[in-house]
Amino acid sequence: MIDLLNIAKTEANGNLFNELSNIFEKADVKPDGYPDAVVWQGGNHDGKINPVAHSLTDAYALLGTIAAVDILGLPYYGVPMWSQYRHDTKLEALAWFG
């Protein structure tokens, strides 16, 4: 089970990108025209259920999304979209999934 408390603490005071990179694996899919886009995959990618894509935003929305994915085990693709990441990428991340 994913440690949501640790993610919440990291989101407030640490390197959330590294934390989530350690939890999820890089996806094989990328948006057309954005070879540097960051897309993670999680859940059970067994081919029986089509994955959903979700932007990983700030605070409670981020924790709720990660909790749902962890509990349900459904296949999904996640794109980092919290405010600090958008700032760090000079808003380029918005073009990937915005």
Tokens of 60: 């409670």
Q: pTM surpassing 0.75?
A: yes
11 phi/psi in degrees, rounded to 5: -60, -35
Buried b (16+ CB within 10 A) or exposed e, 31-53: eeeeeebbbbbbbebeeeeebee
> What pLDDT digit, counting tens, does each position of 35-65 carry?
889 999 988 899 999 998 888 888 778 888 8
Q: How many domains does the chain contain in total? A: 1
The mean per-residue pLDDT over the stretch 72-92 comes to: 89
Residue span of the structural domain in which 38 resides: 4-97
